[in-house]
Amino acid sequence: MVFYSTVFLFIFLPLVLLVHFCLRFSRIQNIFLLIASLFFYAWGEPVSVLLLLGSIAFNYLLGGLIGRAREGKIRGKMLVAVALTGNLGLLAFYKYAHFFLDNLNGLYRLWAIPAVVISPIHLPIGLSFFTFKAISYIIDTYRQDTPVYRNPLQVGLYISFFPQILAGPIVRFKEMAPQLVRRALPLADFAQGMERMILGLGKKMILASAFGEKADLIFAIPSAQLTPDLAWLGAILYTLEIYFDFSGYSDMAIGISKMLGFTIPENFNYPYVATSIREFWKRWHITLSHWFRDYLYLPLGGNRRSRGRVYFNLLSVFFFCGLWHGASWNFIVWGLFHGTFLILERLGGENTLQKIWRPVRHLYALGVIMVGWVLFRSDSLTQALCHLKAMAGWATGDGLKHNLAFYLTGELLGFILVGMLLSTPLHPYLAAARKRLIEAQPRSRALALEIIFSMGVLLFLMSLFGASLMVMASRSYSPFIYFRF
């Protein structure tokens, strides 16, 4: 079940909100939300829900034992090692077994050794996300950043909470734990959550789907038939698609959580306005960046060691960040590509950038980001290199069979312009301007303006929701690309 399905929007979510609202005590609400979350996951993964339950039980038991051991003691470290081995082993088996064997068999062929063949392994949806949440629970408990929660329902709800289980944001246990015990649900928060959910649905259904449909067509063109303009259009479309697809889903997750009384961290902060790669990673997939910072980069020593060790730590983090996204060399190279630019900026590039005109810095960051997205999107490193060569002008296509006019329609150009505009902090700017305008008016006129603006926002949200439903009904293309990861 996904957020943009009619079953979710018109049956599951309304029923969950209604029952949750009628249940007045947090403990009973938690029981209900745990059942609802397991049902939500089982709807698309009826067998893998057993794996999810096993992960909950395993981490609850280990977390309880770790909580009784003192931080730094040998017993506590051993228990943490067991927990990490279990969680990462689960991830390695389901996500990386075939990748490892494929590379191993490549070496075996050189030595004329028979290949090792195993049956296909189904990758459970959301495995990377709920495994990282489970690791957060283990480490936060070990570090005593949060008290030990002896109620398995609270731990189970944290790991399986349906707004976050498929694609994040990756909320750490210490951030969510207090809300599992007690939370309030003001009407204003509920309204804000609904608004955020509708905005996210519009991003996903209207913009991301429009960009993704044409981006897939362009990336399916044989490399020999690519032209520079088509290669650039494909990179631009995917750059917009992945942002509106993932940030739209994150908006929906944040909105739905808020409607249920949970406040979870922001995941995006207009990443395409960044003027450096370092700034980009402060704005893109923020919860994942913070997870790697707190649970990998800092334990490795962070930037408290020698310069060489700091650069090693950065490359290690981005190697694993790429690998986390998928079992492919494309993702690993994408991660190392970003890590390399972060090192170059630390070596003095960032100081140099500060002396350059801001629009040029912005173009630099966007150029690096788009090259990275080509690596990320392509099916192989060979395809990525051919696409990048075409973008650089070394294309072999003649434009007869695949020409720009077929792909870049007037409608798509309009969507691109809207997407570029909405990739900037336009919404906060308009909200601040509205606030200043109202505050500058006498009380009676300010009240009237507030009513007018509120009615306008309501009308816009109703129109956006209706348009999203129309797209859902008419457009067959609406995948969520982060389900791959």
The CB-side HSE value for 200 (13 A sphere, CA atoms) comes to 25
Residue 325 designated active-site: yes
CA pair distance 285, 408, nearest whole angstrom:
29
Of how many residues is the chain composed?
485
DSSP string, 215-263: HHHHHTS-GGG--HHHHHHHHHHHHHHHHHHHHHHHHHHHHHHHHTT--
Distance CA 427, CA 389 (A): 37
23 contacts 183 by C-beta, under 8 angstroms = no
Closest-CA residue to 239 (of 376, 102, 45, 429): 376
State the Cα–Cα distance between residues 38 and 33, nearest whole angstrom: 8
**CA neighbours within 13 Å on the CB side: how many for 299?**
10
- Residue ranges of alpha helices (H) inside 307-425 are 307-325, 329-344, 350-354, 358-377, 381-391, 404-407, 410-422
Catalytic residue among 285, 325, 387, 402: 325
Contact 168, 287 (CB under 8 A): yes
First to last CA, the chain: 17
- Residues labelled catalytic: 325
